[in-house]
Amino acid sequence: MYILGHSAITASAANAADRDMDLRAAAALSLAPDLIDKPVHLLFPALVNGSGRSFAHSALGALGALAVLALLLARRPSLRRPLLLWACYLGHFLLDRMWEHDNPKIVLWPLLGPFPTQLPGVGPGDGAVLGYNLAGELIGLALILRLARLHRLYERPRLAAFLRTGRLS
Ligand SMILES: [Zn+2]
């Protein structure tokens, strides 16, 4: 799944769980595994066997994200709903369908060996994957437009307040 799918689906779920949630943080955490692993793949492909999913898509990466949230909570006790924010990170695994094909080798890295070199069913030429990703983007766009209409984010002051606080209420 791509940017709109991950961020909008996850932020909408977080908003349903907590109406005062900072949706900027929810969206950022929903994208964090790709924001970490894609540059690693581009800069150090040999380190991750050429895989676009590696450290941040693993259980160790998820525990690292939890540790970072715990440190942030220790420094900033006002941090709202850290476990819900962590769920936004874990939601990335769900939307990436990390149980399919060789993905469990990534999730359980390094227990099942090194990162797989090529993941079947995740290439851009795979029609089912393309359909899934396209559907995710369309659903994400629809969710963003729905939230924008419901909360009148087309009005400049309301949009500015949302961008400043991340909150819709
Ligand atoms: Zn991913």
Which pLDDT tens digit goes with each residue over 2-29? Answer: 999 999 999 999 999 999 999 999 999 9
Check residues 78 and 116 and name the one with the higher pLDDT.
116
> Cα(21) to centroid of ligand 1, in Å?
23
pLDDT bin (cut points 50, 70, 90) of residue 85 is very high
- Token digits of residue 56: 């941040």
> Cα(93) to centroid of ligand 1, in Å?
7
Rounded mean pLDDT of 45-50? 93
> Cα(74) to centroid of ligand 1, in Å?
28
> Cα(133) to centroid of ligand 1, in Å?
11
CA–CA separation, 53 vs 58, rounded Å? Answer: 8
Query: How many CB atoms sit inside 10 A of residue 164's CB?
Result: 9
Q: Hey, what amino acid is at 109?
A: W
Q: pLDDT tens across 104-152, in order? A: 999 999 999 999 986 655 555 677 888 999 999 999 999 999 999 999 9
Average model confidence (pLDDT) across the chain: 93
CA–CA separation, 137 vs 109, rounded Å? Answer: 29
CA–CA separation, 21 vs 47, rounded Å? Answer: 36
Those residues with Cβ within 8 angstroms of residue 106's Cβ, 6 or more apart along the chain or in another chain: 51, 53, 54, 57, 58, 98, 115, 116
Q: What pLDDT is attached to residue 121?
A: 54
> Cα(8) to centroid of ligand 1, in Å?
15
- 82 prior amide bond cis, ω within 30: no
> Cα(162) to centroid of ligand 1, in Å?
26
- 115 DSSP 8-state letter: P
Q: What pLDDT is attached to residue 126?
A: 75
Q: Name the residues around ion ligand 1, CB cutoff 5 A.
A: 33-34, 96
